[in-house]
Structure 1
Amino acid sequence: MIGIKKIKAGALQFVLFIGAIIAILLMAFVMLSHSHTLFNKKTDITIDLIQATDRGMARSFEQPLEVGKVWTLPEENTLGIHTNVQRTYWGMLQKRMVVSQKGKLKFTKTGLVGHKEENRAALYLQDDNRPMVIAGDAKINGNAHLPERGIKMGNIQGYGYTKPQLVYGKKWQSRSRLPELENSTVRQLKQLTATGFRPTGNDLGLKTGAMVKNGFQQETQIIRGNVVDLENVFLTGNIMVWASQQINVHPTANLTDVVLVAPKINVADGVTGNFQALASKQIMVGRNCNLTYPTVLAVQDIRKTEGNNTPQREPSLIMETGSSISGMIVYKNENESKGYGADIKLETNAKVHGEIYCQGSLELKGSVFGSVWAQSFIALENGNVYLNHLYNGNIDAYQLPMEFGGLVLSEKPVNQVMKWLN
């Protein structure tokens, strides 16, 4: 007869405990394996969404998108990803937002876009039935569109042109009007600088030392007042500063991607950052400023002139010596009676890495590494006025990178992302 041996209850509890631990470990392993598989699938879908947004942005360049309308990409694969592109504006720059979605997963990219010119010309000078005159230490390095009467050497205050070539590039004949900016860009600039314009968005109180960052998928934050002083503030992103009279930017202000709108905008000496400054009367940039890409300085001149103004009238846009901007400078004025003053003035050692579009007179003593479109040049020396003279200024199209995205003209398409926005 086999005897019955009793097992202590503590041993059974230990066995059950070990079994429970093993079961938990097995369940954890199964859940980890399942989570890892889901994570890999989610990662793959996210990569597909990112690639779809890039593809959507590139394909949108081929479409005549209307402002504010949403364009849906035709289904091009079996991944089940739907991609939409919307065209709007931030300041006077075109903004495109691309959204790709699959199920509950969504990826969004927003960027400022412009035109990349492969065969960039250095100069387009409107034909006003008079020749262009080049004098002093001036130089045009690149192709140039010039009046029918061409270009010739001149002399100002005893400083004649001494270089062996007048233009270091090909020469073509220009027309009696400048190439037009894209219509929607022109409308946008006019709307923002109009007397009755008032921005919409969440009002933001301005405090000394404020640090505000607002994403471009959020509602625009507005700082407004009669005279706004930007001092000891850090502003980044989807923020507009609007003043009924004037905006003053001090060197202690740190601005990134912000839009400034006022009749007069004064940028003090030593300011750094990148922003859009849009004015209806005047923009003044002080000495030794460093405004990075894609900065925009634009004046839609609403001032009326009567008869022939004196040559001493103040320019609408001034860059003082030592300052540098990487981006675009624009002066627009449909008024035919402008007098003999400069509308844009770049002082000696002022530098523009980008483009100048001047629907008026340009006094260029500094350097433009890129392209210039101008109705005329002007030189004001010792009380004398020299019409259509380029004196000591430098225009060099070859110094600008080919990837530079700039102004969109009416006959040129958008084809380059200037900057991705957060």
Structure 2
Amino acid sequence: MIKAGSIAYAILICIVVGIFCYSLLLMSGYSRVYTTMLDTHAELLVNNESAQEFFLGKVDDIEEKEITIDLFENGITSLGVIKPWGFYKVLHTTSVFKKDSVKRTALIGQWQKDDNLALYLSDASKPLFMVEKAKIIGNAALPKSGIKAGYITSNAYRDTKYLQGSKRVSKTSLPKIDYLDFGYGDVRTTRLNEVKDHTRLYNAFDKQTLVVETDTIVLENKVLTGNIVIKSKDSIYIKKSNVLENVLIEAPKVAFESGFTGTVQVLAERIVSLEENVVLRYPSGILMNKGNVDKREINIAKNSKVLGGIVVEDENRGLDKIVTIEEDAEVIGDIYCSGKLQLKGNVTGTVYTSNFYLKTEASAYDNYILNGTIDRKGLPIEFVRIPLFKSKSEYFRPYAIIKQI
């Protein structure tokens, strides 16, 4: 005869074992669901990456109208959106499957053309004169009168290999570039005095652009990163105490204190000045193409660098436009100047200019380069350039990713 206590004990054991077995089954079910979710998310990530590559080939189409596509016909839909960001563009790619989604945002530019073009100098019926250590490494489009050794008092060209590349005859005008509007889409605004010193302010590129307005001439001790525009109706002096990453600066006059380092794009009307030892890291740039002014001027002082590009573009031939690259200063990327370029430093990339200009204590010279160098072959193959030319232009190359942001 079984005692009542033993029956109760057996029932308790059965309940415990049942709960344990049920828990195992439940855990197994959840594990399968979780594994499926992981697999789906992994597939979403791969699909999103592929969609981003697909949209890179459709940039011009996306700018006119957003594109949605089921790339692999697997139920995952991807949306491509283009947003202007200074010289460059921002590509947003969103892939969706049921309630799960993956987003990817990249800063994109133009892949470099592989013709090794170092210089395009428009034909104004004047030759290009090279003095002392001046040198062009790469191919050149030059006036019909060609390239010659130049003389400035006791200075004369000392090396007969001033052009290391092929040459062809240029036209009277520069190649037409695409209009650069330096747009940044929908915005929300704040005042500079509302931004705390030494405190990082970050704004993602899938959010509205944050415009920081200021009436203060001196900008100092700010830490700004991402989808942010610093805007002023007057001059801005950027102190080296600022930390600026991927931001735009818009003002009539912009100057950078010696020692400043950051990643910025500048839209100015009158003057942009880099004091000595300033580094605008890649991808940075300077643009002058709007405003009713009597002069546009860019000065890159000794030992300063701009990694990205410089564009001074204005069809007004009566307007004085001068870009000066001082000794030991360097621009890595493209320079497009529809005015005069005074080149004493170095350009690693391609120069498009209407004229060269040299001013000394004694006189001024047209189409002279003193000690300056242009080295197209030194530009890394991985370097993604500012998109100057339209897709139907002979100078156009496909778009490529600069970095994920």
**TM-score (normalizing by structure 2):** 0.91
In the TM superposition, what are the counterparts of 1:20-419 in structure 2 within 5 Å?
20-61=18-59, 64-65=60-61, 67=63, 69-73=65-69, 75-116=70-111, 117-183=113-179, 185=180, 188-189=181-182, 200-204=187-191, 205-300=194-289, 302-305=291-294, 316-338=297-319, 343-407=322-386, 408-410=388-390, 411=393, 412-413=395-396, 415-419=398-402
8 Å Cα contact 1:223-1:241 kept in structure 2: yes
Moved beyond 4 Å, runs of 4+: 3-6
8 Å Cα contact 2:48-2:94 kept in structure 1: no
8 Å Cα contact 2:334-2:349 kept in structure 1: yes
The residue that corresponds to 1:309 in the other structure is none
8 Å Cα contact 2:92-2:206 kept in structure 1: no
Q: Secondary structure at the match of 1:47?
A: helix
Aligned partners of 1:40 and 1:335: how far apart in 2? 59
Q: Secondary structure at the match of 2:252?
A: strand
Aligned partners of 2:248 and 2:136: how far apart in 1? 33
**AA at the equivalent of 1:112:** L
Q: RMSD of the alignment, in Å?
A: 2.4
**AA at the equivalent of 2:344:** K
Structure 1: runs of 5+ lacking an equivalent:
193-197, 306-313
| Most deviating of 159-168 and 277-286 | 159-168
Could you give the per-residue CA deviations for residues 343-369 of structure 1, whole angstroms, max 9, x where no partner exists? 100110001111111110000100001
Structure 2: runs of 5+ lacking an equivalent:
none
Q: What is the deviation of 1:383?
A: 3.4
| Most deviating of 134-143 and 399-408 | 399-408
Q: How many residues are matched? A: 398
Aligned partners of 2:62 and 2:122: how far apart in 1? 30
Q: What is the deviation of 1:248?
A: 1.6
Q: What is the deviation of 1:281?
A: 0.7
Aligned partners of 1:258 and 1:229: how far apart in 2? 17
8 Å Cα contact 1:294-1:418 kept in structure 2: no
Q: Secondary structure at the match of 2:117?
A: coil
**TM-score (normalizing by structure 1):** 0.87
Q: Secondary structure at the match of 1:182?
A: coil
8 Å Cα contact 2:246-2:265 kept in structure 1: yes
Aligned partners of 1:199 and 1:14: how far apart in 2? 66
Aligned partners of 2:197 and 2:38: how far apart in 1? 47
